[in-house]
Amino acid sequence: MFFHRKELQYHAKPDAPDPVFAKQVQELIGGQFGEMSVALQYLFQSWNTRGNEKYRDLLMDTGTQEIGHIEMLATLVARLLEGAPVYEQEKAAADPVVGAIMGGMNPQHAIVHGLGASPKDSNGVPWNAGYIVASGNLLADFRANVNAESQGRLQVARLYSMTDDRGVKDLFSFLIARDTMHQNQWLAAIKEMEAKEGVIVPSTVPPEWEATEFSHTLYTNSDSTASQLDFLKHPAPDGQAFKVEESKAMGGIPELKPAPPEAHNTLPGEND
């Protein structure tokens, strides 16, 4: 059960309207690494957690906070559209500057959403549930969470550099800080879980399932510099030694049998 408070989690007050920047902010809402993705990723991970109540609650608490981030960004988009002459087509046509600005905005903000945000990215592509990761393995999921928060923080930092609006920067400063916290919490949780389960996911695979002679070998090409990486000189995180070998074919040349007549494939050549 969820409860909503009317107050925003943090301020979302731009100094001036900017319909073009409103379009860019959409990436932080409905993009692959936007707040919709992380909110639902954490909530589904929480709902799928079995027998780990502390981690379940951590995920639920964080996912609920991310819903608040969506609300803040949606409010920011709406306010960036307030006062902009998005419906004044004649004025836009007469003024090249205004026309250029209106030409760079998302027309759906005016036509479809009535000067409001939408669950889409900055190109107008609808948000996709395929963006989220919820595998049931918490170590695997927390690693995905670090990636999501890293990409999200990167995008907010880039947008921070693309505006001079102090109100927008104020909100972005808050979001950057929260992404710092979330990266730290997932990294700390990963470290805690690795101490219990090991670093390789899943830790429950029986040894006889794995062809261990291939488990710690880096295969490179003759012109690759990857073999010079310093970490290869030390044991792998799971304690085994790395090896470096040039790539080689180990599987032979594949031979496929002709398809049955019902497939209507091209007939085999005379030399086949």
Domains of the chain, residue spans = 19-197, 207-246
Question: Is 234 annotated to bind ligand?
Answer: no
Which numeric CATH code is attached to 19-197? 1.20.1260.10
E strand or H helix that includes residue 122:
none
Contacts of 84 (CB under 8 A, 6+ apart): 17, 18, 19, 101, 105
- Dihedral in degrees, nearest 10, Cα atoms 56, 58, 64, 65: -170
The C-alpha atoms of residue 239 and residue 265 are separated, in whole angstroms, by 51
Question: Is 230 annotated to bind ligand?
Answer: no
Position of tokens 């030409």? 103
The residues that bridge with 235 in the sheet, in sequence order, are: 241
Question: Is 149 annotated to bind ligand?
Answer: yes
The residues that bridge with 167 in the sheet, in sequence order, are: none
Question: Is 246 annotated to bind ligand?
Answer: no
- pLDDT by residue for the chain (272 residues), tens digit each? 889 999 999 999 999 999 999 999 999 999 999 999 999 999 999 999 999 999 999 999 999 999 999 999 999 999 999 988 777 655 655 665 566 566 688 888 988 898 999 999 999 999 999 999 999 999 999 999 999 999 999 999 999 999 999 999 999 999 999 999 999 999 999 999 999 999 999 999 999 999 999 999 999 998 999 999 999 999 999 999 999 999 999 999 998 898 999 999 988 776 65
Question: Whole-prediction pTM value?
Answer: 0.89
- Are 69 and 178 in contact by the 8 Å Cβ rule? The answer is yes
Question: Is 208 annotated to bind ligand?
Answer: no
Question: Is 222 annotated to bind ligand?
Answer: yes
